[in-house]
Amino acid sequence: MAQQIQIQVYDQDTKAAIKVIEPDHTVEIIREALENEYIRNGINWKKIEQSIEKAQITGKPLFNVTIATSQKLPLSIQYGQSGGFISGADIEPFRKNLMAICSALRNKDRGIKLSGGVFVRSGEVALTVHVNQTFLNVYGEDVPQLEKEKPYPKEKCLSIKSTPEGYRLIALVTGFLIVNERGVFDIFDSFYASEDRQTLYSHLIPLAWGEQSFIDKVIRSTPPTSSEITINHISDIGSLLAIDSLSSIALRHGKPPTPGRPGSIVFLLPPDSPLPKQDGDRVDYRSVSSFREVAEGTIIAERVPMIQSIPGIDVFGEPIHVAKVKDYIFSYGDGVTEEPSPDLITYKAKERGVLQLEEHFVNVSPVLIINGDVCSETGNITYSRSVIIHGTVRSGFNVTCGDLTVRENIEDATRITCKGDLIVRKGIFGERTKVFVENDAKIGRVQNAYLRVNGDCLIDEYAYHARIFCRKDIRVEGRGRIDMNKGCVIGGEICGLNTITVHSIGSGATLTTVSCGFDSEHFETLNRTLALESTLKKKILLLQNKVNLKNLDKETLAQRVKHYSPEKRQMIKNTLEDLRVTIAQLEKAGGSIALLTRKTMSTDISKSKIVIEKHVIPQTLVVFPHAKKKIYREYSHIFIIYRDHEIQIADSLTSA
């Protein structure tokens, strides 16, 4: 039966096959046939048994069944530069351990138990693979290897170098030897940095090879040259490597960047004044001011200066850039002082004035300038210093200030209180307009308005139906007036305590009054107060006579009153109280008379005069403190003075 089994040997005696396995063949028959052919190496008895069983079940023969394959001698691996050897069945567990190390390093999983790993530096041998160059054929004879063993797959960080025994995997970078997710050999860098690159760590794993290389190359490696990088000096490296799972160690610390602080400013005052307080919920729109007056030393703004950002440095010695910040661009005028401190710059008003506040500029100006009209956009103007108005003071609005300059007009129904000098380039108009000037005034024209000036007053053109009172000299130039039928002062009243000089005065259509040497308006009040004083004196005399107690000493007065009836004593008491009140009223009236006299009367009436430079039109009334004279005919170039209790008119002061 054994002779009937045909065995074919092929591939240079490396394989053997039975051409036909019949259903009645047994293992013993095949064994005998193989022994007869001297085939003894690489026999697969399990496959033979399975083939016989299949033929018996199907009842059909099996053809060309390979039952022997020659075997190559097992390879061996040496890890590291000169580490231990692994061969045969130990190779696969070695690969699996390198895969576990890869998983732990990738996922930073410290719970996985690890066996000894391999650490190599760049240029060192990671693995040496010893490959046997001979095979045993099916007859058990040595035959040369026809094809070289294919090397293990690897990443680009490893190179292959052939050796007589096989090949070597050379590390091109420093790190741990691993088998990565694709099942190929790879090198994993032991270094890793924190997300902010401020701390450099190194992974630690149990090592079978490369502990000294790890200590020398990684832990004690030279850091980047920078005094800003902090080095952790590790004393006992060996104890740190006595582990059975993944751990880590901090090696270096960088310097974090310092964010900057941008410049900023806080304005402590709004540019306009707060709403004025009114009864109820209503606010007069004319009282809403469009500017703010500040006192000397008022804090206007506080600026926080910029602190520039400082770049950091990472653990690799590279700069960590940080965004630069910008300062707040700001300037100030001559009316503001700057008081710097390390963290805050304070801006204060150098003097009292108007706050000029813009986004990047501040100033305090002593002069309030209105570039336009005083109207609903500006509201009433109340300011303690100089005001310049480039437009008109519109009807219904008021101005209270120091010096005042108005480039256009002052309209009707306005009230101007000027505590300094007044200049009105054009005119003052309106019967309801009242203007009060503490110092001098220079005005283009006055029409129907009320004007009171405590200093000198100069009117360029004319005064028409105006009431003008001046404590010093007043002059009406009459500029542009050439009509001989009317003067430059027409109607109303012009009054001055010293010299009144006019181009011309009067009109046949209306009465024009010119008062000199006194204030005719206050004069009426003075006369009323003098009359009151006389009345009070008479009353005091009557009260004194009524009680008839004059020239009595206290003892005599007490004895006399003691004998009076209660009714008479009460009458005396009431009279004395009335007398006390009347005396107080008399003292008050005396004080008012003194004040009114200074305000009303010229200090030297002999120096008061009226000068008419051109002509006087009839219907002109000349008034001095105690005399009046109405002019019924025309005059030219005359002087009017008060002498010897009468008004005198002359063509010169000498003739007068």
The verdict on residue 493 lying in a domain is no
| pLDDT for residue 290 is more than 80 | no
Domain boundary residue among 579, 600, 621? 600
Question: For 575-621, how does the pLDDT look when each residue is reduced to its tens digit (9 = 90+)?
Answer: 888 888 998 998 999 999 889 888 888 888 889 999 999 889 888 99
In this model, does residue 1 exceed pLDDT 50? no
What pLDDT does residue 109 have? 83
Domain count across the chain:
4
pLDDT reported for residue 146: 46
Indicate whether 231 and 98 sit together in one domain.
yes
Interhelix angle 566-600/520-547, nearest 10 degrees: 160
Give φ, ψ of 538 to 5 degrees: -65, -40
Which are the contacts of 272, defined by CB distance < 8 A and separation ≥ 6? 289, 290, 291, 292
| Arithmetic mean of pLDDT, 369-373 | 94
Q: Residue 577 sits in which domain range?
A: 527-600
Q: Do 134 and 41 fall within a single domain?
A: no
> In the predicted model, what is the mean pLDDT of residues 453-469?
96
Q: Check whether residue 318 and residue 227 sit in a common domain.
A: no
Q: Residue 81's pLDDT is what?
A: 79
- For residue range 184-241, what is the model confidence (pLDDT) as tens digits? 999 999 888 888 889 988 888 998 888 888 887 766 666 666 677 777 777 676 677 7
**Cα 464 to Cα 411, 429, 622, distances in angstroms:** 15, 9, 17
Please tell me the predicted confidence (pLDDT) of residue 552. 61
Which residues are bridge partners to 499 per DSSP? Answer: 609
Please tell me the distance from the alpha carbon of residue 467 to that of residue 521, in angstroms, as a whole number. 10
Cα 177 to Cα 23: distance, rounded to the nearest angstrom: 54
Which position has the token pair 């024209």? 445
Rounded to the nearest 5 degrees, what angle is found at the Cα of 567, between the Cα atoms of 564 and 568? 45
Residue 39 within any structural domain of the chain: yes
Check whether 181 has a pLDDT greater than 80: yes
639-647 mean pLDDT: 90
pLDDT above 90 (res 508): no
Region of residue 506 (phi > 0: left; psi between -120 and 50: alpha; otherwise: beta): left
Contact 352, 365 (CB under 8 A): no
Establish if 423 belongs to a structural domain. Answer: no
Q: What is the pLDDT of residue 426?
A: 96
Q: Are 503 and 478 in contact (CB under 8 A)?
A: yes
Q: List b or e across 472-508, with b for residues whose CB sees 16 or more CB atoms inside 10 angstroms.
A: bbbbbbbeebeeeebbbbbbbbbbbbbbbbbbbbbbe
Share of the chain above pLDDT 70, in %: 89
Q: What is the pLDDT of residues 87-134, one digit of tens each?
A: 877 888 889 999 999 999 988 888 788 888 999 989 999 998 887 655
Pairing of strands 293-294, 264-267: unpaired
φ/ψ bin of 317: left (φ > 0), alpha (ψ from -120 to 50), beta (otherwise): left
* pLDDT tens digits along 53-72: 888 988 899 999 998 887 66
Is residue 296 domain-shared with residue 227, that is, in the same domain?
no
The better pLDDT of the pair 432, 252 is held by 432
Residue 280's region, left for phi above 0, alpha for psi from -120 to 50, else beta, is: left
Of the ranges 405-414, 461-470, 487-496, 554-563, which one carries the lowest mean pLDDT score? 554-563
10, 100: one domain = no
- The reported pTM is 0.61
Rg of the chain taking only CA atoms, in angstroms: 62
Does 154 fall in a domain? Answer: yes
In this structure, the chain runs to a length of: 656
Q: Residue 293 corresponds to which tokens in the numbers above?
A: 């007056």
| Same-domain pairing of 106 and 222 | yes
Give me the mean pLDDT over the 561-582 stretch: 83
8-17, 78-87, 228-237, 321-330: lowest mean pLDDT where?
228-237
Q: Which has the higher per-residue pLDDT, 5 or 346?
A: 346
Tell whether 137 and 209 lie within a shared domain. yes
pLDDT in tens, 374-387: 998 888 999 999 99
Note whether 626 and 645 are within 8 A (CB).
Answer: yes
Task: Extract the tokens encoding 2.
Answer: 């054994």
Summary mean pLDDT of the chain: 86
**How would residue 271 be classed by pLDDT, with cut points 50, 70 and 90?**
low
| Predicted pLDDT of residue 14 | 81
> Is 459 domain-assigned?
no
- Please say whether the beta carbons of 587 and 480 come within 8 A: no
| Judgement on whether residues 323 and 246 belong to the same structural domain of the protein | no
Q: How far is 592 from 237, CA to CA, in rounded Å?
A: 107
